[in-house]
Chains A and B, each alone.
Chain A
Amino acid sequence: MSEASPAKAYALHLGVIALLFALSFLLPEYYHGLLARIMVLAVFAMGYNMLFGYVGLLSLGHAMFFGAGLYGAGLAVIQLGWNVPAAFAVGLGCGAVLALIIGLLALRTTGVAFMIVTMMFAQVFYLLILYFAVWTGGDQGQVVPQPARVLNFGATSLDLTNPTVRYMSALALFSLVLLVTLATVRSRYGRVLVAIRENEERTKMLGYDTFSNKLIAVVVSGAICAASGAAYALLFGYVGSSFASVQYSILPLLWVLLGGAATTLGPLIGTLFMYYVIDVTSGYTSAYLLIVGVALILLVLFFPKGILGTIRQRWLGWLP
């Protein structure tokens, strides 16, 4: 897996990025916003996959990292009037620091306890947003004002509310995270993460400090999710508590399970597919959560490897 066909893997990923770039010229206007949103949320899913897929740690609280990025960036603009790059950095930093704290605590537990602990910490985060409604806007949320969502480079400026700029910004973030993920899982560090997933005890006996390695993975995962949240706030101009609710901890799990855990492109495919399903079914039913519920059960019952995981197992063993 790791030594074979690196060129093929990189070619595939660059091809996917090129395809997404080309789609911005081929697709009708309506899909630009949707696809930009999907790419940003796919970054969220990739961050989740880093921990769930490669380290085997099932968190039920990743909404707090997405939320930390969302509110970190959003409030930096709304309350402090900071510019876009600074706000993005604040969001990213909030997520990374939060992930470090949560990791230090939650990694003392394993398995089911880890799932419940992460869920509870995320619930605390969510309730804090409601409690400090004066600043956060509570469950009403807040709009990030349009004039503030502009990137200034001296004379030129990029308006993030412009659909094309927004699409390209989302694509840039997505591509960066995708390539970083690919490089990470192919690296020595990626090999150690998979070893921890497969047998932590054995990995320790090869001289690895598994706690530190897991902690780094939690921080990287949290930072990626926060980047997604920060980008969401800045590109789509809304911060709301629902993005930190337990539902947004379940969704990345669903996307990753659907696309294929421990595959680099699975998160994108899962997110895309789920949005497509919702788009199709929204004509028949408003029961969006029903679809999420049924999909979760069907996936764990019949399709635990997800789309790309199954393809890799059956046909394309080299898929990263």
Chain B
Amino acid sequence: MMPLLTTKGLSRNFGGLRAVDSVDFTLMPGEIRAVIGPNGAGKTTFVSLVSGRIQPSSGAIVFDGADITGLPAYIRVRQGIAYTFQITSVFANLSAYDNVALPVQRTLSDSRSKGAVKAGVMSALERTGLADRAHMQAGQLSYGHQRLLEVTMGLALKPRLLILDEPTQGLADSEIDNFVELVREIARSATVLLIEHNMPVVMQLADRITVFNAGKILAEGTPEAIRENAAVQEAYLGTAP
């Protein structure tokens, strides 16, 4: 089977710091892949490079067999790479409906009917349980609901690869359980790349785990293998509470 995403020697320098240091990474279609690592390990920089928010200093990114290294972010989104932000960045002054309508109307660009947008928005909002809040201003939603809205917007892009950057950060335990269910459901139709600090969530969800440290991949494997890996324990799990 052809990998959905590969990076070859992907690097990014900030001044003298090598935030991402020649990373070779492969992601198979249908996977749920978790990326873990201590703060400053380069996880967010790495997914920012994949999504095109920042340009690499060197290296290549291949998505679905095509080199996308030079493509601007919005074209990568159109090709199926969706990114949900670590810091919630929904459009606070727009309604939840409008927030979701933005990705929906773009994926529908062939059809001109207003009904299609409406149906698409409501089905996406129903999937994440926000349908009854459609006409609230996004900024007025609770924090947990804003995070859900962020994911809804990612989903509405109908991505092939959905990148979730610390989606459970700041959520209550009950909300996290729902979230895990949601990600499992998403994974039926999309490949998921998940940056996550919450280890129980990672262990429940991930098919495979990639561990970053100091801009490089330290280890990669199934949750069990990673749990047993001595180097990982030293670098990351050992220091985590």
Contact = CB atoms under 8 A, between A and B. Distances in A.
Interface string A199-233: 10111111111100000000000000000000000
B91 A188 contact: no
B78 A207 contact: yes
A207 B92 contact: no
A228 to B, nearest CB: 29
B117 interface: yes
Contacts of A207: 74, 77-78, 103, 106-107, 157
A314 B92 CA distance: 18
A2 B74 CA distance: 24
B139 to A, nearest CB: 10
A80 interface: no
A191 B94 CA distance: 9
Contacts, number: 69
Given A191-B98, A195-B102, A205-B51, A4 B74 contact: no
Nearest to A202: B89
B108 to A, nearest CB: 9
A208 B106 contact: yes
Interface in B133-156: 135, 153
A202 B95 contact: no
A7 interface: no
A210 B102 CA distance: 13
A192 B51 CA distance: 20
A208 B118 CA distance: 19
A301 interface: no
A1 interface: yes
Contacts of A204: 72-74, 77
Contact of A208 (B74, B98, B153): B74
Contacts of A202: 85, 89-91
A188 B117 contact: yes
A73 B213 CA distance: 66
A203 B94 contact: no
Interface in B99-117: 101-103, 105-107, 117
Given A202-B85, A203-B102, A209 B74 contact: yes
B46 interface: no
A210 to B, nearest CB: 7
Contacts of B74: 204-205, 207-210
Given A188-B117, A194-B94, A198-B93, A205 B77 contact: yes
Contacts of B90: 202
Contact of A192 (B72, B97, B102, B157): B102
A279 interface: no
Contacts of B82: 205
B127 interface: no
Contact of A199 (B53, B91, B95, B118): B91
B98 to A, nearest CB: 6
A36 B72 CA distance: 47
Nearest to A210: B74
A1 B102 contact: no
A209 B73 CA distance: 9
B153 A206 contact: yes
Interface in B53-90: 53, 72-74, 77-78, 82-83, 85, 89-90
A195 B91 contact: yes
A111 B51 CA distance: 25
A3 B157 CA distance: 21
A188 B98 contact: no
A23 to B, nearest CB: 35
Contacts of A199: 89, 91
A102 B230 CA distance: 60
Contacts of A2: 95, 97-98, 101
Interface in A1-54: 1-4
B105 A198 contact: no
B17 to A, nearest CB: 22
A1 B137 CA distance: 10
Contacts of A3: 97, 118, 135
A246 B140 CA distance: 41
A188 B101 CA distance: 9
Top 3 nearest A-B pairs (CB, nearest first) are A207-B77, A198-B91, A188-B105
Interface of A: 1-4, 188, 191-192, 194-195, 198-199, 201-210
Given A2-B98, A208-B106, 9 more contacts: A195-B102, A198-B92, A199-B91, A202-B90, A202-B91, A205-B85, A206-B106, A207-B106, A207-B157
10 contacts: A194-B94, A198-B92, A199-B91, A201-B53, A202-B91, A206-B102, A206-B106, A206-B157, A207-B74, A208-B102
